[in-house]
Structure 1
């Protein structure tokens, strides 16, 4: 049985489905909700090392992360529980795996795909990279037309 679970969380319906799955399936577990803020999403390709970091864009992304994590906490309250929330800055898959290693996570639960748009395709499949590198079990949640399904690896 999983005692400590990490849910990767972003603005996608799949991430919400993953959180709801973890909350409903692992009622007695210590659930951590992690949002990773990838600098490639709030930078342009003009500065040092090919990236220019806008202070204003960074601040907006941090505010967005705080809002998303509050949404996750509100969702947990619907299940009459609390979650530990965290926000990291870095490459998404690598940050998820590192957080899992650093916090003795037994199970990672994440959506089959997250952020929408072209960046998702350019960055590749986070779920696939996490599944390959995770220190333990991974449950990938797919949401299809309001119907939740999962693939466990």
Structure 2
């Protein structure tokens, strides 16, 4: 069974990243798709569990919307998780190891030059450190220029 980890950040690129992951999973069906996000810790939020639950609910809605629009295979088992932390790449890589992912699917924001150097690149760090193959999904060109 193919086991994919798809990391989403709720950016404009997330629907395309999810669509790509569902397409790959459907080709490898039966498959498991582990849909995850990393949520920034909020020191004022003592109920971080509710933040994680809310993020998982949002991931489920995103998946159901994507499946509804494109009719993706039902032979894909879905699991959802939200991980608090300030280092998304490290958390994604650790989760890929923990679930023994065959591949990670992650979106890029299409940043260039100084923006990329200042902000870092989660996708690049995941590519460098993941224990498996990584599929990066670029946003459509119009999204790159609007950032």
Identify whether the pair has TM-score above 0.5, normalized to the shorter chain.
Answer: yes
Paired residues in the alignment total 130
- Structure 1: which 5+ residue stretches go unaligned? 43-52, 115-119, 148-153
Give the structure 1 partner of residue 33 of structure 2.
31
Give the structure 2 partner of residue 45 of structure 1.
none
By percentage of residues, which structure has more strand? 1
| Cα-to-partner distance string for 1:54-89 (whole Å, 9 max, x where unaligned) | 127957744641332122331464324342111111
**3-state DSSP class of the match of 1:88?**
strand
Q: TM-score normalized by structure 1?
A: 0.71
**Deviation above 6 Å: which 4+ runs of structure 1?**
none
Residues 108 and 86 from structure 1, CA distance in 2 versus in 1: closer, same or farther, beyond 3 angstroms? Answer: same
Distance in 2, matches of 1:75 and 1:84, equals: 16
Correspondence 1:85-96 to 2 at 5 A: 85-90=80-85, 91-96=87-92
**Counterpart check, 1:105 vs 2:95:** no
Distance in 1, matches of 2:55 and 2:107, equals: 17
